[in-house]
Structure 1
């Protein structure tokens, strides 16, 4: 079991941002991720919010062992050609420590930031269609020196990406998915699968309901892998916490965390991701308990 964290890009680098990433490495986290948005929900929407790629580049320079990544990047405001160039550069700067968390994106927040006034965001089906093409093209761009591609939503004309990623054949994809189409993408292109649980269950269900719903997602991933001729055990399974009915429960104490992580480890998850505490937000938690979990809870789980 690996223990990782998410550090939201809400602090100026010179006013505490740098220290958070360094502290994450000191605490022994396997990876530290950040959200890739232009803005996010209340209370963050009207406050500071910095770009993911520059933040990760700075974090790469401030750390030496910690894996880094997005959780997650989406097509909402990204294009595969420009993203590929940034990722290759980031992988180089970090010495091959980058994981790309990638998902279809949602509605609201930054989903309409690049639209003309009055234009609505994509429907769920349109997001899924774009996501499938986005992942396929990005995979090609990161594994070939030059790519020409004509799709329904994206194109590339001799897009060159020399020398490619430090990690070969490319940096790993952690594909966020809950439905059949997304799970099939994870099975075809992912080195890891990410879930936050079932949003419908999270809104009205219990922690036990959530575990059952996530177990069904795991079954769906197993099926998708079988259809793709792939061993489901080859994919890391990542749970991003903070969105299940457990609420802040896993961060209440070391014992609470170990119990929570153990229930999900039994489903096959090998990485648990905790949000770094942010006061007066949905991610509020006692920083002392959080750090104790990073050191003691990880040891109890045999985290590596």
Structure 2
């Protein structure tokens, strides 16, 4: 069974007051990748401390050596492909080629209006995402790019010497709809899901498993239509947003059961949230660390 375990560390702590130590501890615990959210703020954390994703990952790259680093996820809500590409090749260089870009179309909320724009419709988000991903792909793969589209432009944008990882750093594309899945199939080295949001409040774990199975089947069809092999694509589940959202961190046995049932569907990477007291991501730190060090071994 091919499965790896990763974590997501929210950027809410000052670097010298627990921020740095969390990333270092994540590497000590053996996580495959440590991600962070790429938001300007997020939900219940909006009125508290919150730091930028790329500077945080850059600092994490300096104090770690082996663990991969990434975003879950970056979106067009407040990013432009030209400036983002420059930041990413810098981060990839500083990390020695350990960066994965989780990328999605974005949604409603604070990030969607923080720059003063009107909220985009679902169609407009999809249209922008459809331009954003291919242009970013080119910017990270080519030395000079010019492009003029409906939403984004680039004029002789230089990204020399390019990424350490060739031909560019990997994309993990979050998508469930037809257009997004096509982008994942064409440009993604990995695919990201949080499950079916319609089941978050009233669904059952069994219904959630069925929905993720359907998503993976649709991804496979999109890959087949593009002439690619979906089996070669990593399939990432960000936990905390399925009906049994608290269960994976309740105990080692609960995690093993949860991870095993999703691995059977084809999920290849499980991402668990670093515990945050008094939040939606509160969890017993001892249980969390035991899952990190023993969880995958229990599946084999």
Give SS of 1:100's match.
strand
Residue 35 of structure 2 is matched in structure 1 by 33
- 1:175-254 aligned within 5 A: 175-254=173-252
Give SS of 2:77's match.
coil
Runs (4+) off by over 3 Å: none
- Provide the C-alpha distance between the structure 2 equivalents of 1:126 and 1:69, rounded to a whole number of angstroms: 26
The alpha-carbon deviation at position 234 of structure 1 amounts to 1.5
Aligned residues: 298
Q: What are the ranges of 5 or more consecutive residues in structure 1 without an aligned counterpart? A: none
Residue 4 of structure 1 is matched in structure 2 by 6
The alpha-carbon deviation at position 180 of structure 1 amounts to 1.0
- Provide the C-alpha distance between the structure 2 equivalents of 1:247 and 1:237, rounded to a whole number of angstroms: 18
RMSD in angstroms over aligned alpha carbons?
Answer: 0.7
Q: What are the ranges of 5 or more consecutive residues in structure 2 without an aligned counterpart? A: none
Residue 256 of structure 2 is matched in structure 1 by 258
- Provide the C-alpha distance between the structure 1 equivalents of 2:42 and 2:266, rounded to a whole number of angstroms: 30
Of 290, 295, 298 in structure 2, the residue corresponding to residue 297 of structure 1 is 295
Q: Deviations over 1:241-263 (max 9, x none)?
A: 00000121010111100000001
- Provide the C-alpha distance between the structure 2 equivalents of 1:280 and 1:15, rounded to a whole number of angstroms: 18
Give SS of 1:163's match.
coil
* 1:20 paired to 2:22: yes
Residue 135 of structure 2 is matched in structure 1 by 137
Q: Deviations over 1:168-209 (max 9, x none)?
A: 000000000111111111000000000000000122100000
The alpha-carbon deviation at position 298 of structure 1 amounts to 2.1
Residue 278 of structure 2 is matched in structure 1 by 280
- Provide the C-alpha distance between the structure 1 equivalents of 2:182 and 2:27, rounded to a whole number of angstroms: 33
- Provide the C-alpha distance between the structure 1 equivalents of 2:206 and 2:252, rounded to a whole number of angstroms: 20
- Provide the C-alpha distance between the structure 2 equivalents of 1:275 and 1:89, rounded to a whole number of angstroms: 26
- Provide the C-alpha distance between the structure 1 equivalents of 2:183 and 2:34, rounded to a whole number of angstroms: 24
Q: Deviations over 1:266-286 (max 9, x none)?
A: 110110000001011111110
- Provide the C-alpha distance between the structure 1 equivalents of 2:180 and 2:201, rounded to a whole number of angstroms: 22
Residue 48 of structure 2 is matched in structure 1 by 47
- Provide the C-alpha distance between the structure 2 equivalents of 1:234 and 1:104, rounded to a whole number of angstroms: 23
- Provide the C-alpha distance between the structure 2 equivalents of 1:33 and 1:191, rounded to a whole number of angstroms: 16
- Provide the C-alpha distance between the structure 2 equivalents of 1:193 and 1:279, rounded to a whole number of angstroms: 29
Residue 68 of structure 1 is matched in structure 2 by 69
Give SS of 1:204's match.
coil
- Provide the C-alpha distance between the structure 1 equivalents of 2:201 and 2:150, rounded to a whole number of angstroms: 35
TM-score if structure 1 supplies the norm length? Answer: 0.97
- Provide the C-alpha distance between the structure 1 equivalents of 2:123 and 2:201, rounded to a whole number of angstroms: 22
- Provide the C-alpha distance between the structure 1 equivalents of 2:83 and 2:192, rounded to a whole number of angstroms: 24
Residue 90 of structure 1 is matched in structure 2 by 91
TM-score if structure 2 supplies the norm length? Answer: 0.98
- Provide the C-alpha distance between the structure 1 equivalents of 2:140 and 2:111, rounded to a whole number of angstroms: 25
- Provide the C-alpha distance between the structure 2 equivalents of 1:174 and 1:299, rounded to a whole number of angstroms: 25
- Provide the C-alpha distance between the structure 2 equivalents of 1:301 and 1:21, rounded to a whole number of angstroms: 25
Give SS of 1:99's match.
strand
**Range that drifts further, 83-92 or 291-300:** 291-300
